[in-house]
Structure 1
Amino acid sequence: MSSSDVLNRFPRARLMSGATPIQRLDRIEQFLGERRRGVSIWAKRDDLMELGGGGNKLRKLEFLIGQAKSEGCDTVIAIGGVQSNFARLAAAACARTGLACELVLAQMVPRDSEIYQANGNVLLDHLFGARVHLLGKGDDASAFATGRASEIASSGGKAFVAVLGGSTPVGCLGYVDCAFEIATQSTNMGIEFDTIVIPNGSGGMHAGLVAGTIINGGDPSRISAHTVLSPADASALSTVEKINVVLGLLSTQERVERKDVKVGGTQLGGGYGIPTPEMVEAVRILGRSEGLLLDPVYGGKAFAGLLSDIESEVVKAGSNVLFLMTGGSPGLYAYADGLKGN
């Protein structure tokens, strides 16, 4: 079954020109030496997308923008944290597709420095032409977005409200498509990936990958996530719910249970967006060994989890591991004060 057979009935705004590459991380393998226990490490480069600085949220936005246009909307209101990659890419996607964009940015991380509040993704939000609503601590982002949608409607427009991370069932379709893409690349490369490692924030990427893997006849248990937003069990339960809704949306009777979904909590640290020593070390290791950038909120923590899982033998010796690089490198500039040093 091809992705087009499953997904063609859903409106879609094409924001990507093709599949993102998969590359082997040879230098990381050399760095780990005997500690890697024969594990082969690969990266799926979803950071390499042409629009808006790249990143995995573009996959979701293809379907969300498609939905917004099909509903006759002229404005997208996207909700996120201050340094939201989703908000940044929503602004870029709206610029590309001719929609107005408003961003409702909530204070989800206890960082009030000027570099965090105005640099990184926030700087790019403005450059892409979005109207940015930077909320105060404790403000209700959903209520604010709903209010703005009503104001736009009263002025004769129509707004589409994109929730946190774009992780609606429709948004998850972007990673159903990615699951098919990985399967095709795996076949073409002649490599079976035993484990696919990802971060889990709002859960949409995880849900889409599992749903797509199931529809394609693969084993969803090989997808292993590290939570960066919620405690592991809460994250897993939320993801299970999303997976089953997406499977229903795709008209299949398959369903998953909690035991089918792998979410680890060892890298969450103090919570969403709060740096950990392991994250900082993972960002530095990949930068210094491969010249690649991990973001400090998602990819950095997930890659730290991967390194830990290899050394603690959670990942089987001699297996093939695919790490999904989700992008978000503009966020590094907002965390400059915590990433400096040797």
Structure 2
Amino acid sequence: MNLAKYPRRRYTSYKTPIEHLERLSKLLGGPNIYMKRDDLLGLAGGGNKTRKLEFLMAEALEQGADTIITCGAVQSNHCRLTIGAAVKEGLKAQIIMEERIEGSYDRNATGNNFIYHLLGVEDVHVVPGGSDMPNELEKLAEKLRAEGRKPYIVQGGGSNELGCLGYISCAQEINEQLFEMGLNIDKICCVSGSSSMHVGLLVGTKGLNMNIPIQGVSVGKKEPIQGDKVKELADKVTEIFGMPEISREEIVVDDNYIGESYGAPTKEMVEAIQMVAREEGIILDAVYTGKFMAAIIGMIREGKFKKDENILLLNSGSGYNIFSYEDILKEEVYTK
């Protein structure tokens, strides 16, 4: 896979570390848990979307864009980082917020919402949950074009074929690090949401013949829908590289820890955030990595990993949005 032929902006000048979560591993009685700290990526507070934006922003600049537009749920990490990338490149940014939980948008909220405005987002548009987001993005782009501007659309989560290159390159980075560390990993675990991270890891590890299975954890959709979504994007990416396709059987998604819906808190998420903070000093976010870690802890307790296995978790996001969940979290935090 020759990634060098794709234009790329570099927002992180180092490999994100792989840490052994020794205390957490001991507390849970195995397996040996390692974490790839993509919450320490560059741009505004870090998170996995930075890797995707390196390729997407390069295309935007090649096309002469002056405004970046994207979308996400209320408190979206992706929107925060996309605005940050636009700022870094001297471009304007507008975002569309999808209210997936009715009444959840608050213009004066803290967390990522505050960071949007701190970074100088030009405008925030709010639409109801279930809206056709690609259509909403195109409508906004048409409005800006009518004003004589040159918008570039970054799809939700940066999830398209180009965005997947971010995690194909991450697979290469992981491969190099594991060799340098002399560490054999039995399974890589990641969030499966907008799906480009999941797809990038699947394609990247397969292309490198790493023979490490990828365990996805859904934070929004049940397995049949999420698995098919991953498969659809994976087919597009493997076709680009002329690779054998990713079979549906290779796409593994756990959907047992979603809760009521995307973004809706769960008691398992609260427990996971507190446990990782107090055992490892790592702050997880309340939408993605909190539910992801709740699933990993749950699967360990259910015996779905062998005690002596080495598993690598992708920490895909920073914890800014945790401040918008204070009311849910602080009762546990202040009493234990």
What TM-score results when the alignment is normalised by the length of structure 1?
A: 0.93
Pick from 322, 330, 333 the counterpart of residue 312 of structure 2: 322
Change (3 A) 1:130 1:43: same
Pick from 106, 117, 121 the counterpart of residue 126 of structure 1: 117
Distance 2:189 2:119 in 1: 31
Aligned to 1:103: 95
| 1:148 to partner: Cα distance | 2.0
Matching of residue 298 in structure 1 with residue 288 in structure 2: yes
SS at structure 1 position matched to 2:2: helix
Aligned to 2:261: 271
| 1:132 to partner: Cα distance | 3.1
| 1:144 to partner: Cα distance | 3.2
| 1:127 to partner: Cα distance | 1.0
Letter of the 1:193 partner, please give it. Answer: I
Distance 2:128 2:67 in 1: 26
- Aligned pairs for 1:83-162 within 5 A: 83-110=75-102, 112=104, 114=106, 118-138=109-129, 140-162=132-154
SS at structure 2 position matched to 1:335: helix
Pick from 179, 190, 197 the counterpart of residue 198 of structure 1: 190
Letter of the 1:153 partner, please give it. Answer: R
Letter of the 1:72 partner, please give it. Answer: G
Distance 1:15 1:111 in 2: 35
Q: Is the 8 A contact 1:226 1:302 kept in 2?
A: yes
Distance 1:69 1:12 in 2: 10
SS at structure 1 position matched to 2:282: coil
Identity of aligned pairs, percent?
A: 35
| 1:226 to partner: Cα distance | 0.9
Q: Is the 8 A contact 1:299 1:325 kept in 2?
A: yes
Aligned to 1:51: 43
Q: Is the 8 A contact 2:42 2:50 kept in 1?
A: no
Q: Is the 8 A contact 1:125 1:132 kept in 2?
A: no
Change (3 A) 1:273 1:27: same
- Aligned pairs for 1:1-342 within 5 A: 6-32=2-28, 35-36=29-30, 39-110=31-102, 112=104, 114=106, 118-138=109-129, 140-219=132-211, 222-249=213-240, 251-341=241-331, 342=335
Q: Is the 8 A contact 1:202 1:229 kept in 2?
A: no
Letter of the 1:6 partner, please give it. Answer: N
Letter of the 1:142 partner, please give it. Answer: P
SS at structure 2 position matched to 1:122: helix
Q: Is the 8 A contact 2:32 2:307 kept in 1?
A: no
Q: Is the 8 A contact 1:82 1:117 kept in 2?
A: no
Distance 1:226 1:270 in 2: 15
User: Structure 1: 5+ residue runs without aligned partners?
Assistant: none
Deviations 1:56-82 (A, max 9, x none): 110011111011111221111011111
Q: Is the 8 A contact 2:203 2:246 kept in 1?
A: no
Q: Is the 8 A contact 1:82 1:134 kept in 2?
A: no
Distance 1:301 1:112 in 2: 19
Q: How many pairs does the alignment contain?
A: 331
Q: Is the 8 A contact 2:74 2:98 kept in 1?
A: yes
Q: Is the 8 A contact 1:227 1:235 kept in 2?
A: yes
SS at structure 2 position matched to 1:333: helix
Distance 1:337 1:18 in 2: 36
Change (3 A) 1:146 1:173: same
Deviations 1:20-56 (A, max 9, x none): 0001111112322xx32xx211110001123200111
| 1:312 to partner: Cα distance | 1.5
Distance 1:305 1:198 in 2: 11
Deviations 1:238-281 (A, max 9, x none): 101111211112x2231012111110111111110011111110
Change (3 A) 1:113 1:168: closer
Q: Is the 8 A contact 1:231 1:265 kept in 2?
A: yes
Deviations 1:167-195 (A, max 9, x none): 01101110000011111100000011101
| 1:111 to partner: Cα distance | 5.3
Q: Is the 8 A contact 1:22 1:42 kept in 2?
A: yes
SS at structure 1 position matched to 2:217: strand
Distance 1:316 1:134 in 2: 47
Letter of the 2:89 partner, please give it. Answer: T
